[in-house]
Chains A and B, each alone.
Chain A
Amino acid sequence: MKLTLKIWRQENAKTKGAMKTYQIDGIDGDMSFLEMLDVLNEDLINKGEIPVEFDHDCREGICGSCSLQINGEPHGPDRLVTTCQLHMRKFNDGDTIVIEPFRATAFPVVTDLIVDRSSFDRIQQAGGYISVNTSGNTVDANAIPIKKENADDAFYAATCIGCGACVAACKNASAMLFTSAKVSQFALLPQGEIEATERVENMVRQMDLEGFGNCTNTGACEIECPKGISLENIARMNREYLSAVSKG
């Protein structure tokens, strides 16, 4: 395959960036999108140019490092995959591919295609945990039975990989899906109930402080989420928030 790549290049957070066009040849359908970028970078290095910086690590769709807005969609045109699992067979010979960093005020660009997603960490730090000491001196794991459906729903919410695709896809750059996934995980488990009020208030407050937009229920986040995190989580968080506020 022969491709034309339009890639956002930006030296660092302080400089201005711009799109740059590259031609690339010899791309195989079995390559992942990141392996295609590896080929480009090898080319650039051999030519003495600076390779394109992008976040990636596990390359099996679980670490949440890789990002990239590909042809206007986070993680590209395929569904339920991260960029590292997107394969070039989804593209055709001669295609032009536009590659940009995830855009949000709360995700400032670090360099090229790398953005700073520490705002997500800070939302978690504001309350995305159960305040239990790690001594191991808790009750037996089977002391509190949990309904399978609730355990399963909590699990599905917890499979969020924190990649930021929800924010990138949302026209408002809202982080509601991310935040609600964590709130939901704990809201569905008896262990999480005790701190439910403070948790949702603190996490939402931090989310707002970080400068994410408001949710307007377009549903783009759910469609683009590589893990298929459901919009139900947002409804649940709205509910949790209302009940927290009503408790004062």
Chain B
Amino acid sequence: MGIISSSIARKVAMALSGLFLVLFLGQHFTINLTSTFSPETFNEISHFMGTNFLVQAILQPVLIFGVIFHFVMGFILEIRNRSARKINYVRYDGNANSTWVSRNMIYSGVAILAFLGLHFYDFWFPEIVHKYIESNPADATRYYGELVEKFESPVRTGLYVLAFVFLALHLFHGFASSFQSVGFNNKYATALKKFAKFYAIAIPAGFVFIALFHHFNH
């Protein structure tokens, strides 16, 4: 496959798929946020997203492809990178020259992947079953209730919060670093990277807020 033929191409592909997922996160967050102040709006948008043909037939597969591509490529890179140093150091002081998060993207990534499993189990599979397998009649008001119900459990809420922490770690390095990967490095780069770091904290923090909001407001 041409796209993974060179290390730089792989790196750029990783960055672009990551950026795409970052965009999606923002959108997902915005929709979810509405649930904390207007259940009606939340229901409306959810219904639209869940029933619109474009979203379901085009955006959704693209998104799923993006996710799969990002993590499969992540694993490929990890394997390649490990084989680039077959004999390890007896002592390696990574903290002296780089951040823990930047060196451990694979672990934060795996944690997020595990969370995605849970998240799909919670929302996406029931949704698919509800709509396409059981072919239930459309109900534009069910989404808010389903959401709130899920956050009753303190265990699930805890897991979600934990996952968002990993997401923050992952984004904290990944988002800013993607600009470097695509070669973006001009006078705006510093500001953009600052924004990326802010985003990396703010968005997961927002998700945490939403989860806790529904857990305690229940």
Residues in chain A within 8 A of chain B (CB atoms): 6, 8, 19, 69, 71-73, 77, 98, 100, 103-106, 169, 171-174, 176, 204-205, 207-208, 211-220, 223-224, 231-232, 234-242, 245
Report if A204-B105 is in contact (Cβ < 8 Å); known contacts: A72-B92, A73-B93, A214-B81. no
Q: Contact partner of B96 among A73, A204, A234, A240, CB < 8 A?
A: A73
Q: Are B96 and A218 in contact (CB under 8 A)?
A: no
Binary A-proximity of B1-23 (CB < 8 A = 1, otherwise 0)? 00000111111100000000000
Query: Which residues of chain A are near B34, meaning CB under 8 Å?
Result: none
Contact yes or no, A218 B183, CB < 8 A: no
Question: Does B99 count as interface, using CB distance less than 8 angstroms?
Answer: yes
Which of A169, A207, A212, A236 is in CB contact (< 8 Å) with B183?
Answer: A236
Q: Is B94 an interface residue (CB 8 A)?
A: yes
| Distance between A209 CB and nearest chain B CB, rounded to angstroms | 10
**Given A72-B92, A219-B102, A238-B12: A204 touches B85 (CB 8 Å cut-off):** no
Segment from B114-122, B123-131, B149-157, B174-182 that makes contact with A: B174-182
The 3 A-B residue pairs with the shortest CB-CB distance in the complex, in nearest-first order: A72-B93, A239-B183, A213-B84
Q: A6-B90, A98-B91, A208-B6 are in contact. Are A106 and B84 (CB under 8 A)?
A: yes
Residue among B10, B81, B97, B183 with the highest chain A CB neighbour number at 10 A? B97
Contacts of B105 in A (CB 8 A): 216
Chain B: CB-nearest residue to A244: B8
A216 & B84 in contact (Cβ 8 Å cutoff):
no
Are A71 and B11 in contact, CB atoms less than 8 angstroms apart? Answer: no
Expressed in whole angstroms, the minimum distance between the Cβ of A204 and any Cβ of chain B is 6
Contacts of A215 in B (CB 8 A): 7, 11, 181
Q: How far is the CA of A200 from the CA of B135 in the complex (A)?
A: 55
Instruction: Establish whether residues A211 and B90, one from each chain, have CB atoms under 8 Å apart when the complex forms.
Output: no
Write the nearest CB–CB distance from A241 to chain B, whole angstroms.
5
Query: In the complex, what residues of B have CB within 8 A of residue A105's CB?
Result: 83-86
- Tell me the count of chain B residues lying within 8 A, CB to CB, of chain A: 37
Which A residues are CB-close (under 8 A) to B77?
A: 214, 216
In contact, B177 and A216 (Cβ under 8 angstroms): yes
Cβ B85 vs Cβ A224 within 8 A = no
Q: Which residues of A contact B8 (CB under 8 A)?
A: 204, 237-238, 241-242
* Cross-chain contact B81 with A171 (CB below 8 angstroms): yes
The answer to whether B6 and A169 have CB atoms under 8 Å apart is no
Q: Are A171 and B94 touching (Cβ within 8 A)?
A: yes
Asked if A220 and B94 make an inter-chain contact with CB atoms under 8 angstroms apart, the answer reads: yes
B80 near A: Cβ within 8 Å?
yes
The reply to whether B98 and A103 contact each other, CB–CB distance below 8 Å, is: no
**In the complex where A19-B90, A218-B102, A238-B11 touch, is A173 in contact with B97 (Cβ < 8 A)?**
no
- B90 close to A100 (CB less than 8 A): yes
Q: Is B87 positioned at the interface, with any CB of A under 8 Å from its CB?
A: yes
Interface pairs (19), CB distance under 8 Å:
A6-B90, A8-B90, A71-B91, A71-B93, A72-B89, A72-B96, A100-B91, A171-B81, A171-B103, A173-B85, A174-B81, A205-B6, A212-B7, A217-B102, A218-B98, A219-B98, A223-B98, A241-B8, A241-B9
Beyond A219-B98, A223-B97, A235-B184, whether A211 also contacts B81 by CB under 8 A is no
Where the two chains meet, the residues of B that have a C-beta atom closer than 8 Å to any C-beta of A are 6-12, 77, 80-81, 83-94, 96-99, 102-103, 105, 173, 177, 180-185
Q: Write out the residue numbers on chain A whose beta carbons fall within 8 Å of the beta carbon of B9.
A: 241, 245
A218 to B102, CA, bound (A): 5
Q: What separation, in Å, do the CA atoms of A241 and B13 have in the docked complex?
A: 13
Chain B residues near A239: list those with CB within 8 A: 182-183, 185
A219 to chain B, nearest CB (A): 6
Chain B hits for A169, CB < 8 A: 97
Please give, as numbers and ranges, the residues of chain A lying within 8 Å of B12 by CB-CB distance: 238, 242
CB distance B81 to A224 under 8 Å? no
Residue from A213, A224, A232 within 8 A of B80 (CB atoms): A213
| B182: chain A residues within 8 A (beta carbon) | 238-239, 242
A174 CB contacts on chain B under 8 angstroms? 7, 81, 84
Is the CB–CB distance between A214 and B98 below 8 Å? no
Q: How far is the CA of A6 from the CA of B12 in the complex (A)?
A: 40
Whether A234 pairs with B180 at a CB distance below 8 angstroms is: yes
Q: What distance in Å separates the Cβ of B169 from its nearest Cβ neighbour in chain A?
A: 14
